[in-house]
A and B are shown apart, each in its own frame.
Chain A
């Protein structure tokens, strides 16, 4: 299936908006605004880190099975 621009860029767009929110929030205020910044900037990093890490782990489980398949 050929994915359109929306399908390709919806996640990057959401992450970009979160990042922009995080970059500006702490500039506009203190306290709660700082908190918003930390989460808006940190969340995408944590989620993508989790997705990438999770993939690696699943692959690790699969590998021994593939090896045990008799030719």
Chain B
């Protein structure tokens, strides 16, 4: 590579990193507790202890659960029902209107085996929620998501250019050499290099999947106007529903239509994830791969009949697969711990990068590069 090209790569590394560093530091710091959000919530906001029930307890009547939730909040309507298969609790989400504001409403937990409802709670607004908003949209909504997505793209550019400028430094050095005792800056340069190389693939994957996650809202919008609109096209001109049919029957229909899948959540008619006339039952499989993907079954909310069921398009699957790869929540606690260690190393990487740039007056990086090239060439 010519000296000129290397200089450009160095400038790319410097500027892409400098622009996104503060945001990435925020993302790393807020991401750390978010890795363990399940564990943290279990400590500070424990679910009621599940009642001991025989395994062969009769299936509960979901219509009774819905009626109970509506009786507890008579001025609200049901928007979603969560039925996470791995969780002994389900949740009914009610709100003043079918369409968000999402923070205006209540969550009604219920025991999936006994049907017992617990007192409705407003959606979370605690410490972890603040951390989550800082991590996802900086309390700015879509512009915040897209801003952080752009920072993720800069991170990818920074990583690629970082690998390129790494090369001349290593012409004479064994991998993972840290030259101590000469200058503190040289020592940090070597540490920055080795830590960057060790975490490269992880940072790249978490960065790219993070960028995909920032596109969640546009992706859902695309799906609503694409596949969902197609699936509900026959109902386009149907008169609005006056009363809702049985949710229980809809769930039975969905289960019968795809016996190998389990319902994960139900979007009620009129919400963003369904049409005006359907219960949209989102189902997923039991195998490790199918359990990451969702398949919506549309059930006529009046008759309880299945009207359509399709696999989600590729762009939604990309989003669904990106989520575990970003969160690190797909390999139990040891994987989360690895995620946390890598996150901490990333913080050291960011801080050392800033330090190297800050301390450049003592030993100009361009001069470093020139020196490295002279030594290597």
Contacts and interface: CB of A to CB of B under 8 A. Distances in A.
A42 B336 CA distance: 11
Interface residues of B, number: 36
Contacts of A69: none
A41 B202 contact: yes
Interface string B270-294: 0000000000000000001100100
Chain A residues touching B, majority SS? helix
Interface stretch (B24-32, B87-95, B171-179, B249-257): B171-179
Among A1, A10, A27, max chain B CB count under 10 A is at A27
A20 B201 contact: yes
B205 interface: yes
Interface residues of A, number: 34
A1 B292 CA distance: 50
A51 B178 CA distance: 10
A71 interface: no
A37 B342 CA distance: 14
Contacts, number: 91
Interface in B160-176: 166-167, 170-173, 175-176
A64 interface: no
A12 B202 CA distance: 12
A15 B376 CA distance: 24
B170 A48 contact: no
Contacts of B233: none
Interface string A7-33: 010111001100110110111111001
A67 interface: no
A10 to B, nearest CB: 8
Contact of A27 (B176, B191, B292, B342): B292
B197 A27 contact: no
A23 B205 CA distance: 9
Interface string B186-224: 000001001001101110010000000000000000000
A3 B170 contact: yes
A26 B329 CA distance: 10
A34 B335 contact: yes
A26 B331 contact: yes
B176 A48 contact: yes
A33 B180 contact: no
Given A3-B171, A12-B200, A44-B198, A38 B335 contact: yes
A37 B201 contact: no
A20 B208 CA distance: 14
B197 A12 contact: yes
Given A2-B376, A23-B205, A45-B342, A34 B325 contact: no
